[in-house]
Amino acid sequence: MSDGAQTRRPPQVLRGMRDFTPRQMLLRQRVIDILRRVFERYGFDPIDTPLLEYYEVLSGKYGEEGEKLLYRFVDHGGRAVGLRYDLTVPLARYVAVHRAELTFPFKRYHIGPVFRAERPQRGRYRQFWQCDVDVVGTRSMLADAEVLSVWIDALSALRVPNAVIHVNHRQLLEALARAAGVDPALALSVYRAIDKLAKIGEDGVREELIRAGVEPKAAERVLGLIRVQGHPETVVDTVRHLLAEDAEAQRALDELAELFGYLAAYGTPEGSYILDLSLARGLDYYTGPVAEVIVREPAIGSLGGAGRYDRLIGMFLGEEIPATGASLGLERLVEVVDEFGLLPTPETVSDVLVVAVEEQQRSESLRVAQELRANGIDAEVYLGERVDLRRQLQYANRKGIPFAIIVGPDELTVGVVTLRNLVTGEQERVARHEIVATALQRLVATGRRPARERTGQE
Ligand code: AMP
């Protein structure tokens, strides 16, 4: 038997990867448009880099865990290559390649897909998009504050409620392990354990620390430190006192105090950021302040990760160039926006279907559609074989097109067309030469803005 229909199964999509419907894409594009506007408002310029990099560019940057999740293969030319795992390492490589043409501090944004061979679950995919802003070439805490301020503006523009930015410092984390008297060899397990505080609670962290071989007394000291909570500036003061002996910790606290000072000057609302000593952040390349943005609902982990990485670019150049940046995960942002209906999104781009009742009105219907388009209205005509009024209106209804302009024989002889609101069923006869202006008015009145205003880009 040949491969008849009964043996053929529908093709599968790879695990952790997804198709997107028009509605999902419209929402994603809307979120991306809003993010771009915020990024550009601060003067970040866009760049792009290839999805594929030499494996050696990516390797050794993400720690042991990350390394295992890198998609790696040998290409047709026998080169070891990898799919990009984030947008930060490609940026570091980019700076090393383009250094001579860049103006420092170099500020870029980059929105695009990255790949990680993770175990898929809610909010965790193998292909997902990151939306990054980074500042390269300055150690000033102004840059760290700016990328967090960008986050706050972006979340507010997306109307995400209850997002809190948790801030910590890599050096503070190390000082904490030192102060607790933890064997330096165990420091990594300490970071991993305390990072789970929100998930497993204090008792869970204590158990995990002891299981990793940390002395019970040292474990208590670690817990005592990460318990400190309150207004960021107060926490800085308390921890300053607790880690008074540790010069590195004092330097880290100076940086955080400066960072919080700038955030206050930016007018960042109270409570939108906290100093959270339990925040570890996985990626190996961080050297200074680190941050994560978290929402309570829905429970999908962090919406974004940020941090300073002063040594990463040096791995490509041999000379250090300091940098800091922040990355938002598009999938999780879209999930929050969708779950709470934060940005009402249409089902289709089309504002209007222009309908010809008979073959004789076809040309006129095409002219009407072109006039609408020339005036910023997204208009389509039905491309099926037969002119059939019922079928055309059904097409518009199914797609969720809100208006139809019906061009019929009677109307044309007296110079009018019919404008029908497909949601309410109301219709009106409009003079042919006024149809564009009237359609525009009705679109604005129903909250369905014409294309030009909808994206705010043109
Ligand atoms: P990271 O580069 O690991 O700091 O991640 C930055 C942000 O990317 C996270 O806060 C998430 O919003 C998002 N993200 C990370 N991993 C995934 C994933 N597997 N699927 C979807 N989003 C992710």
pLDDT at position 4 is 53
How many angstroms separate the CA atoms of 349 and 64, rounded? 45
Which has the minimum average pLDDT: 207-221, 331-345, 365-379, 397-411?
Answer: 207-221
| Cβ atoms 94, 47 nearer than 8 A | yes
Could you please state the CATH topology (level 3) that the domain comprising 354-453 is classified under: Rossmann fold (3.40.50)
Q: Which atom of ligand 1 is nearest to the CA of 124?
A: 20
Residue given tokens 């419907």 in the structure block: 21
Please determine whether the domains at 163-286 and 354-453 fall in the same fold group of CATH: no
Asked if residue 3 has pLDDT above 70, the reply is no
Class of CATH domain 163-286: alpha beta
CB of 165 closer than 6 angstroms to any ligand 1 atom: no
Q: SS3 of 350, please?
A: coil
pLDDT per residue as tens digits for the range 69-107: 999 999 999 999 999 999 999 999 999 999 999 999 999
- Strands across the sheet with 45-46, in order? 45-46, 106-115, 127-136, 323-329, 302-308, 289-295, 163-169, 273-275
Residue 52: φ, ψ to 5°: -100, 135
Look-up: residue for tokens 């009024």? 389
- What distance in Å separates the CA atoms of residue 88 and residue 286, rounded to the nearest whole number? 11
CB 229 within 8 Å of CB 198: no
What is the share, in percent, of the chain residues with pLDDT greater than 90? 78
Per the model's pLDDT, the better-predicted residue between 231 and 28 turns out to be 28
What's the 292 CA to ligand 1 centre distance in angstroms? 10
Which residue is closest in CA terms to ligand 1's atom 10? 304
Higher pLDDT, 271 or 334: 334
- Judge if the beta carbon of residue 108 lies within 6 A of ligand 1: no
User: Atom of ligand 1 at shortest distance to CA of 116?
Assistant: 19
Distance 432 CA to ligand 1 centre (A): 53
Question: Distance between the two ends of the chain, CA-based, in angstroms?
Answer: 57
Cross-strand bridge partners of residue 294: 164, 302
Which overall architecture, per CATH, does domain 15-160+296-345 show? 2-Layer Sandwich (3.30)
Q: Is the pLDDT of residue 2 over 60?
A: no
In this predicted structure, the answer to whether residue 200 has a pLDDT above a threshold of 70 is: yes
- Going by the DSSP 8-state scheme, the letter that residue 75 receives in this structure is -
Please state the length of the chain: 458
- Cα–Cα separations (whole angstroms), residue 429 to 407, 418, 425: 10, 5, 13
- What is the Cα–Cα distance from 405 to 183, expressed in whole angstroms? 75
Ligand 1 close to Cβ of residue 115 (< 6 A): no
Q: For 137-174, what is each residue's pLDDT tens digit?
A: 999 999 999 999 999 999 999 999 889 999 999 999 88
What residue spans define the domains of the chain? 15-160+296-345, 163-286, 354-453
From the CB of 246, is ligand 1 less than 6 Å away? Answer: no
Nearest to 329 by CA among 155, 169, 207, 446: 155
Is the shortest distance between the CB of 307 and ligand 1 below 6 Å?
no
Contact 31, 158 (CB under 8 A): yes
114 CA from centroid of ligand 1 (Å): 9
Helix or strand run (H / E) with residue 220 = helix 216-226
Q: What is the pTM of this model?
A: 0.92
> To which residue do tokens 């110079």 refer?
415
* 130 ligand 1 Cβ < 6 A: yes
| CA pair distance 444, 70, nearest whole angstrom | 48
Q: Given pLDDT bands bounded at 50, 70 and 90, which one contains residue 300?
A: confident
